[in-house]
């Protein structure tokens, strides 16, 4: 979820985002009526159904989530193609077979061995983790579409917007993509948000970036060419290639922390207990992804590549200004790399005392529209030929507005 001081777009910024002509999409409020009966070809044997009818609001939420999962699957496939497991790099394959598939077709992985080597600086198991995260996101989109069909609703497919050019590294299929991983502006306030013991975005808390330079300018998270992905003649990793891999490491966590908050935020709006179970179950896997990537990002080495510096986060100072404290909290408590468990913080009412939580989960601070805005601000949909967003943004925003407009039926 994208920051605006707190790390989440506030409602005022949402209105500004829409008003200023970026989208110009009207809100299509979700109706409260019931959907037609499930398709007999699908709806049998789902199990544990509370027999409550699925509402149009439930369908709106599931449709939006399926669309967003297709976007995530697209970007993770690109990461896997270049940095997933391969027998060409020692230690990059592990013991698990590479079984990534999309629509029944195998996905070739590890096509940029130099990039893969740079990713392994963050953790030796990065290739396997990337492949597993990719597999998970593909499964989320596929399952959500299947579930929608089982309830007589239409599945969502954004393939018409797959027009962005992929990496030119040898072996990468030259098919259009939904996302652009070459011009990212990565918000890293999630790092300090999960370490603060006295600020919560749901209660108006604000947070600082762990890597300030990533939050400004545009940075590649994948190599564009074979030359950009190559190691030095002596086998060492060029700073530029390591910066690309480290950008990817922080971007992994940025993407997955969004899902960690989005699923519980939207779960508060659904009516069907089965849909609630679905959201809580998929949302839990997003939390597992975020925890993994949070840990790995902290291993990014302290290097500088042009205008991008990855700071020493274990130096006991705020990388934004060099201060040793932040609002009275020691900087080490907010930036130290091994503090990856959620620090107990204020929740609901500060008088209740601190508690370890996912944050944010308030629909006022987060939700579907905030997720789309964060992806837009991240640069995921920029067409390098025009430097403008593709038409996918209009569709995602319409679906997001419908999801956010849902009211739980009692």
Whether residue 347 lies inside any domain: the answer is: yes
Whether residue 5 lies inside any domain: the answer is: no
Whether residue 2 lies inside any domain: the answer is: no
pLDDT of residue 298: 97
Q: In whole angstroms, how far apart are CA 24 and each of 55, 166, 398?
A: 27, 28, 10
pLDDT of residue 95: 61
Distance between terminal CA atoms of the chain? 29
Low-confidence stretches of the chain (pLDDT < 50) are 1-45, 47
Whether residue 216 lies inside any domain: the answer is: yes
Our count of domains for the chain comes to: 1
Whether residue 34 lies inside any domain: the answer is: yes
pLDDT of residue 97: 67
pLDDT of residue 207: 96
Whether residue 4 lies inside any domain: the answer is: no
pLDDT of residue 2: 39
Helices (H), 11-55: 11-19
Question: DSSP characters for 349-405?
Answer: -GGG--B---S---TTT-SHHHHHHHHHHHTTTEETTTTEE-THHHHHHHHHHHHHT
pLDDT of residue 363: 81
Whether residue 6 lies inside any domain: the answer is: no
Instruction: For residues 235 and 114, give the distance between their C-alpha atoms in angstroms, rounded to a whole number.
Output: 9
What are the tokens at 345? 């913080």
Does the predicted TM-score (pTM) go above 0.85? yes
Q: Give the domain extent around 265.
A: 11-404
Whether residue 162 lies inside any domain: the answer is: yes
């Amino acid at each position: 979820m994208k920051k605006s001081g707190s790390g989440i777009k506030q409602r005022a910024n949402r209105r500004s985002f829409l008003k200023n002509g970026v989208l110009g999409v009207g809100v299509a409020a979700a109706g409260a009526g019931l959907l037609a009966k499930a398709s007999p070809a699908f709806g049998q044997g789902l199990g544990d159904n509370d027999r409550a009818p699925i509402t149009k609001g439930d369908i709106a939420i599931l449709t939006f989530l399926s669309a967003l999962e297709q976007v995530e699957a697209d970007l993770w496939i690109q990461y896997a193609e270049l940095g997933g497991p391969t027998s060409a790099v020692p230690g990059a394959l592990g013991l698990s077979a590479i079984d990534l598939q999309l629509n029944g077709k195998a996905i070739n992985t590890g096509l940029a061995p130099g990039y893969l080597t740079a990713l392994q600086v963050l953790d030796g198991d990065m290739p396997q983790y990337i492949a597993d995260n990719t597999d998970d996101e593909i499964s989320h989109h596929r399952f959500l579409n299947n579930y929608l069909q089982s309830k007589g609703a239409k599945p969502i497919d954004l393939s018409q917007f797959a027009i962005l050019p992929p990496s030119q590294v040898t072996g990468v299929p030259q098919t259009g993509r939904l996302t652009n991983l070459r011009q990212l502006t990565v918000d890293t306030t999630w790092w300090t948000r999960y370490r603060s013991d006295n600020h919560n975005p749901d209660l108006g808390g604000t947070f600082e970036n762990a890597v300030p330079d990533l939050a400004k300018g545009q940075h590649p998270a994948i190599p564009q060419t074979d030359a950009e992905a190559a190691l030095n003649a002596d086998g060492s990793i060029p700073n530029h290639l390591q910066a690309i891999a480290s950008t990817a490491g922080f971007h992994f966590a940025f993407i997955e922390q969004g899902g960690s908050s989005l699923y519980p935020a939207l779960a508060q709006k659904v009516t069907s207990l089965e849909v609630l179970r679905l959201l809580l179950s998929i949302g839990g896997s997003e939390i597992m992804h975020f925890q993994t990537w949070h840990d790995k990002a902290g291993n990014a080495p302290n290097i500088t590549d042009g205008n991008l510096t990855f700071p020493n986060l274990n130096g006991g100072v705020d990388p934004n200004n060099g201060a040793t404290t932040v609002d009275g909290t020691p900087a080490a408590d907010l930036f130290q790399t091994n503090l990856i468990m959620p620090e107990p913080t204020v929740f609901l009412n500060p008088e209740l005392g601190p508690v370890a939580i996912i944050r944010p989960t308030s629909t006022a601070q987060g939700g579907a529209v905030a997720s789309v805005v964060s992806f837009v601000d991240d640069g995921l949909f920029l067409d390098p030929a025009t430097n403008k967003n593709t038409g996918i943004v209009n569709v995602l925003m319409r679906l997001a507005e419908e999801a956010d407009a849902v009211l739980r039926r009692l």
